[in-house]
Amino acid sequence: MKAICTDSDLVVFSHLRWDFVFQRPQHLMTRYALYRRVYFVEEPIFEKMESPYLDVRLTQDRLHVVVPHMPNHLSPREKDEVMRGLLDSLFEGENIQNYSFWYYTPMAINFSDHLQPAVTIYDCMDELSKFKGADPALIEKERLLLMRTDLVFTGGYSLYEAKKDRHMNVHPFPSAIDAAHFKTARETHDDPADQKHIKRPRLGFVGVIDERMDLELLQDMALLRPQWEFVLIGPVVKINPATLPREKNIHYLGKKNYQDLPRYLSNWDCALMPFAKNEATQFISPTKTPEYLAAGLPVVSTSIRDVVEPYGTNKLVEIADCAKDFVARVERVLATKKNAARIEKIDQFLKDISWDRTWRKMAEMEAHVLENKNSFNRSYDNLN
């Protein structure tokens, strides 16, 4: 087994809340925290208050979620100055001396660039500058971050293609899977109370409902097949809930605990990924693709690049972009949920796609970078 860093802390700067949706950052950081202290620093919460403070809570052994609270009347420059001071106080209070930085948001460079991490990692899981409401400064901040970064990971292959010429050490790590967790959906589960009343067949979606979803496509499918039931699980973000289609056969069940998802998926007949084709979806690599497949569900998706390749080309996911074609694909796969040959093909494809494997490779790369830096420093010291 190759070496990983166990004697240093990992400080993570995230644009996502730890308790929002359990996804890539949570999968990776819960694994890192098995071996070292992890400080997951969220973006500030702005309140009517005078004195800023940090809320630091331990969510598992060695894993700290750090939530800054600060006055809502500050200017952008003042916010960065306050954040810088709060970060310094975190380092002093927690005795953080030997550490690496892990960025999910380039904007965090505004208040962290005065510190000297042993290794700097940029996990570019999404092209944030393409998202609705993105800060116009994101592109420039990412340029500055890339100048300081030792190691760049991307959330998919299309994003890798977009970043590979901007840094010397870029590596694609597409969405992985906790297969054992989602395979439990293949077993018989009691229907959750809020889903029990919904008739069959059920077509489901799990994830954030935002500008990346093609709401018109969803509505058109619901109208074309009023005898089908569409179940959507996840929070509504950055779009007005009043704009959601409200056909009688569309059901919004809200956000669910990650541990409960297999119970819902177990009682579906098909999984959907009705993503819009827009700037926000240009580089996405949906985590739900392997999750749906591990659950044993047939899947139909719009032609998102990182879904088409490899899942579409390997005939693991059906691809369609208009309601008529989407419906036709669903009709074709509805009878395949328990097809033994399809399940065997899925399991063979997913056997090497795991968060454990992804985390291990990332950790080994960090250790390799650190060892190279230390070797250089030792050689330099010997020369002097």
62 lies in which domain range? 9-176+354-383
Q: What is the mean pLDDT of residues 312-323?
A: 97
* Rounded percentage of the chain residues whose pLDDT exceeds 90: 91
Residue with more model confidence, 380 or 201 = 201
Answer yes or no: is 4 within a domain. no
C-alpha closest to that of 304 among 178, 156, 143 = 156
What pLDDT score does 336 carry? 85
Give the position of tokens 């005939």.
315
CB 118 within 8 A of CB 135: no
In order of 39, 159, 212, the CA distances from 278 in angstroms are 34, 15, 7
Letter for the amino acid at 283? Answer: F
Residues 162 and 282 in one domain: no
120 falls within a domain: yes
Q: pTM of the predicted model, to two decimals? A: 0.93
In this structure, the answer to whether residues 292 and 269 fall within a common structural domain is: yes
Q: What is the pLDDT of residue 376?
A: 55
pLDDT at 1: 45
| Alpha-carbon span 339 to 344, nearest angstrom | 9
Residue 321 maps to a domain: yes
> How much is the average pLDDT of 201-220?
97
Regarding whether 38 and 130 lie in a shared domain, the answer is yes
The one-letter code for the residue type at 226 is: P
CB 265 within 8 A of CB 185: yes
Whether residue 172 is found in the same domain as residue 192: no
Question: pLDDT category, 273, cuts 50, 70, 90?
Answer: very high
Whether the Cβ atoms of residue 61 and residue 33 lie closer than 8 Å to each other: yes
**117 shares its domain with 198:** no
Tokens 């299309």 belong to residue: 158
**82 CB burial (10 A radius; 0-12, 13-18, 19+):** middle
Let me know whether 338 and 367 are in one domain.
no
Regarding whether 184 and 137 lie in a shared domain, the answer is no
What number is the average pLDDT over the span 238-260? 96
Per-residue pLDDT band at 383 (split at 50, 70, 90): low
Any domain includes 1: no
Instruction: Give me the half-sphere count of Cα atoms (radius 13 Å) on the Cβ side of residue 171.
Output: 17
For the segment 321-325, the average pLDDT, to the nearest whole number, is: 97
Same domain, 315 and 364: no
* Whether residue 381 has pLDDT greater than 70: no
What's the rounded Cα separation, in Å, for the pair 346 and 342? Answer: 6
pLDDT in tens, 156-193: 999 999 999 999 999 999 989 999 999 999 999 999 99
Q: Does the pLDDT value for residue 384 go beyond 60?
A: no
Check whether residue 148 and residue 77 sit in a common domain.
yes
- Mean pLDDT rounded to a whole number for the chain: 94
Q: What is the CATH number of the domain that holds 332?
A: 3.40.50.2000
Q: How many domains does the chain have?
A: 2
pLDDT in the model for residue 222: 98
So what's the pLDDT on residue 378? 57
3-state secondary structure the chain: CCCCCCCCEEEEECCCCCCCCCCHHHHHHHHHCCCCCEEEECCCEEECCCCCEEEEEEEECCEEEEEEEEECCCCHHHHHHHHHHHHHHHHHHHCCCCEEEEECCHHHHHHHCCCCCCCEEEEECCCHHHCCCCCCCHHHHHHHHHHHCCEEEECCHHHHHHHCCCCCCEEECCCCCCHHHHHHHHCCCCCCCCCCCCCCCEEEEECCECCCECHHHHHHHHHHCCCCEEEEECCECCCCHHHCCCCCCEEEEECCCHHHHHHHHCCCCEEEECECCCHHHCCCCCCHHHHHHHCCCCEEECCCHHHHHHHHCCCCCEECCCHHHHHHHHHHHHHHCCCHHHHHHHHHHHCCCCHHHHHHHHHHHHHHHHHHHHHHHHHHHHHC
Mean pLDDT of 22-28: 96
171 and 313: one domain? Answer: no
**Shared domain check, 172 and 39:** yes
Could you report the per-residue pLDDT of 67-115, keeping only the tens digit for each? 999 999 999 999 999 999 999 999 999 999 999 999 999 999 999 999 9
Q: Is the pLDDT score of 380 beyond 50?
A: no
In a domain, 3, yes or no: no
Report whether 175 contacts 155 (CB < 8 A): yes
pLDDT of the residue at 165: 96
Distance CA 251, CA 136 (A): 35
Task: Render pLDDT for 347-372 as a digit per residue (tens, 0 to 9).
Answer: 999 998 999 999 999 999 999 999 99
* pLDDT higher than threshold 70 for residue 153: yes
* pLDDT band per the 50, 70, 90 thresholds, residue 33: very high
Same domain, 132 and 220: no
